[in-house]
């Protein structure tokens, strides 16, 4: 299946031993973003990254992800950034504003920096959908975000 760890495991085109990664994690909905972080971190290690080359940066909510990603991407020694967050729809239109701003902001950081920046942000209608995508029956989107930046480093 596309995007799973097994689809890339053992056949990386590049050696990740000297590549440096930053994982930016939103604290909002941390019962979801923690498993996303574990998925991303473990995937990088499994693909050959070194523990000491993976930095974690926390931000309060997903809206803060683009700025933190920009700060990380502007560092010379960072090769790729993985953004992790979880926005769950509520009763007000905040969901649409946050999701749109975050998606656009993260894309801009990638285009401006020229470095792989992954959008590992769940945008779900409820907590159940989020749990299913954070290590549940639909996999772990943090893991998939890590695989994405590795694929982009290879391309
Ligand atoms: N941040 C998230 O990462 N996920 C959310 O589901 C989320 N819901 C929010 C709902 C409201 C009404 C507000 C005002 C903020 C929410 N945030 C959420 C926080 C947001 O990303 C950001 O941290 C704050 O708006 C401060 O800039």
Q: Which of 7, 13, 74, 94 is catalytic?
A: 94
Q: Are strands 80-88 and 54-59 parallel, antiparallel or unpaired?
A: unpaired
CA 1 – CA 9 distance, rounded (Å): 13
Interval 63-99: pLDDT, tens: 999 999 999 999 999 999 999 999 999 889 999 999 9
138 is catalytic: no
Which residue has its alpha carbon closest to ligand 1 atom 1? 61
pTM of the model: 0.94
CATH of domain 39-126+136-155: 3.40.50.960
**Residues contacting residue 140 through CB under 8 Å, at least 6 positions apart:** 35, 36, 38, 39, 133, 134
Q: Any idea where the domains of the chain sit in the sequence?
A: 39-126+136-155
**Residues contacting residue 143 through CB under 8 Å, at least 6 positions apart:** 5, 39, 40, 42, 43
Interval 25-71: pLDDT, tens: 999 999 999 999 999 999 999 999 999 999 999 999 999 999 999 99
Rounded to a whole number of angstroms, the distance between the first and last alpha carbons of the chain is: 20
């Amino acid at each position: 299946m596309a995007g799973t760890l097994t689809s890339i495991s053992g056949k990386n085109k590049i050696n990740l031993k000297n590549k440096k990664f930053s994982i930016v994690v939103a604290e909002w909905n941390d019962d979801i973003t923690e498993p996303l972080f574990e998925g991303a971190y473990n995937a990088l290690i499994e693909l050959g990254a070194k523990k000491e080359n993976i930095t974690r940066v926390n931000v309060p909510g997903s809206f803060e992800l683009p700025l933190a990603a920009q700060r990380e991407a502007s560092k010379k020694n960072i090769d790729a950034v993985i953004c992790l967050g979880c926005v769950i729809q509520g009763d007000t239109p905040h969901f649409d504003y946050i999701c749109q701003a975050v998606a656009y902001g993260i894309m801009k950081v990638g285009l401006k920096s020229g470095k792989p920046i992954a959008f590992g942000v769940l945008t779900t209608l409820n907590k159940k959908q989020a749990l299913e995508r954070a290590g549940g029956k639909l996999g772990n989107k943090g893991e998939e975000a890590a695989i994405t930046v590795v694929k982009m480093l290879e391309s």
